[in-house]
Amino acid sequence: MNRFARFDFAGFALWTGLCVLLGAFAAGANPFEETIDILENRTVFHWGRDCLVWVVHYPEELVEPWVEAEAGRAGMTESEREAYRKGFVSELAIGAREPFLVTVYAFGPRPLSFSPLSENVSLVTSGGERFKPVRYDKALDQPVNGIVQGLIFFPKQKGREFSVAIRGMGVRDECLFSFRESPPPLFAASSSSARQARAEEDEVVVLELPPKPSEPPKARVGTPPRQEQRLPKEIARPPLPPAPPRPSAPALPAEPEGQSMAEFVEAMRSGDRGAPPPAKKAAEQAQTEQSQANQADQNPALSDSAYVSREKTVRDFLSLWTKNDPAAMYSMLSKSSRKLFSEETFESDLRKTSDFRAALRDGYRLEWLGTERARVVAARRILLVRTLVSRTLGVVREGTAWKIVW
């Protein structure tokens, strides 16, 4: 799966959700507050004709606060944190390229087009030099109707003062999204000392004015009372006699459940009146198996029962993965997997998949590839971008239980 796999385009809702999440930690200095300060200073938007476009630049100083915030949210160990950091830097090519997230919201009657993007989007330095994109998400080359989001990478720049020039927004020939080295602060200071300083500066003066003299009440001109309109009383009508009941048709004898009339007649002729029909037998057997399966799911003592489904086994394994319990996960592996991997090797492999474990915490989708292979698909969150990551697990029956093939 390449690093431009797929994106979940959430537009304004995703941006608003991130702001709410980061704003919840705004009390005191924390990595979330530092992250949102950087994002606010590196975000520019402009209106076009029937569209709104906003561009987010991901600078190098964003890496540490974001990784620290995500590690604290997901409960990562130190090794998992380092693996997540490497994946984050590699995904956005931070340090090697200038990554930008471009979001286009088109709401006009006709789709908006920037194709070819390589000719309509460029990076302009403060000295006037222009650079074309090194690579970009191909979804931005398609006609835009609604919200489309994608990453664009430009060559690495020495300074931080540059602009992203976009053509085709409909108002001007070219629109500049300019980024400065030190933009003015967007938020007031939230510390207690700053609040106290503002309180001392903003002294409130209260003025007391004399009460307004009361005016004598004005005489109200009387009006004649309104006469109520009386409606004529409704004449009571005698009740109608009840209608006689309709004669009901004689009830037909009920056809035996799960058995056609021909089968019923044949059973009567053969004298086998007490034997249940084949369809009823199959239904009773399926009901018995389902009842035993439910009992196995509810009773941990029956976890090795043959009625524990393969899907429940995989979901139990993923639940342990989310909780970061490698010992319990290793006990669910098949015999062949335990021969290939020692418990130490298996635990080492798990540490390399910390980003996948973090994605599992936000939910996943299970897709069966045949009867003995399952693909687990989860969404990995990288700031405003969600990329889909997947891993395929095998299952095999050993005795009466399903085991995981690693």
pLDDT digit string, tens, across residues 2-12: 444 444 444 44
Joined together, the tokens standing for residue 372 give 């003995």
Burial of 144 (0-12, 13-18, 19+ CB in 10 A): buried
318: pLDDT confidence band, cut at 50, 70 and 90?
Answer: very high
Backbone angle region of 23, left / alpha / beta, with phi > 0 → left and psi within -120 to 50 → alpha: alpha
Q: Domain end: 151, 179, 207, which one?
A: 179
Percent pLDDT > 70 in the chain is: 59
Q: What is the mean pLDDT of residues 117-127?
A: 93
Tens digits of per-residue pLDDT, 255-268?
444 445 555 445 55
Alpha-carbon gap, residue 163 to 128, rounded angstroms = 10
CA distances from 169 to 111, 165, 199, 316, 338 (A): 11, 11, 45, 50, 58
CATH number of the domain where residue 313 is located: 3.10.450.100
Q: Are residues 174 and 321 in the same domain?
A: no
In a domain, 333, yes or no: yes
DSSP per-residue letters across 20-74: HHHHTT-SSS-HHHHHHHHHHHTEEEEEETTEEEEEEE--GGGHHHHHHHHHHHH
Distance between CA atoms of 98 and 86, rounded to whole angstroms? 17
Identify the domain containing residue 123 by its residue range. Answer: 11-179
- The residue from 179, 194, 224 where one domain ends is 179
The answer as to whether 60 is a domain residue is yes
**Is 274 a member of any domain?**
no
**Does any domain span residue 252?**
no
Torsion angle of the four alpha carbons 369, 372, 378, 380, in this order, in degrees rounded to the nearest 10: -100
In this prediction, residue 386 has a pLDDT band, given cuts at 50, 70 and 90, of low
Of 144-148, 297-301, 356-360, the poorest mean pLDDT is in 297-301
**Average pLDDT of the residues of the chain:** 74
Q: What is the mean pLDDT of residues 224-232?
A: 55
CA torsion through residues 399, 400, 405, 406, sign: negative
Q: Which of 158, 179, 200 is the last residue of a domain?
A: 179
Question: 163 with 312, same domain?
Answer: no
Task: Give the pTM.
Answer: 0.51
Mean pLDDT within 180-193 = 53
Pair (165, 311) in one structural domain: no
For residue 246, name the pLDDT band (cuts at 50, 70, 90): low
Instruction: State both tokens at 195.
Output: 């609040």
Residues 6+ away with beta carbon under 8 Å from 152: 99, 100, 101, 102, 117, 121, 133, 136, 137, 140, 164
Look at residue 72 and tell me if it is in a domain: yes
Query: What's residue 163's pLDDT?
Result: 95
Give the pLDDT score at 305.
46
What does the pLDDT look like over 30-57, one tens digit per residue? 888 898 889 999 999 999 989 999 999 9
| The total number of structural domains that make up the chain | 2
Check whether residue 173 and residue 311 sit in a common domain. no
d(CA 58, CA 373): 38
Q: What percent of the chain has pLDDT over 90?
A: 30
Residue 62 has pLDDT above 70, yes or no: yes
Longest dimension (CA), the chain: 111
Least confident among 27-36, 172-181, 309-318: 27-36
103 φ/ψ sector (left φ>0, alpha ψ -120 to 50, else beta): beta
- Give domain status of residue 376, yes or no: yes
Q: Quick check: is 263 in a domain?
A: no
Peptide bond into 216 cis (omega under 30): no
Give the pLDDT band of residue 399 (cuts 50, 70, 90): confident
Contacts for 316 with CB less than 8 Å, ≥ 6 apart: 332
Give me the residues paired with residue 124 across strands.
130, 163
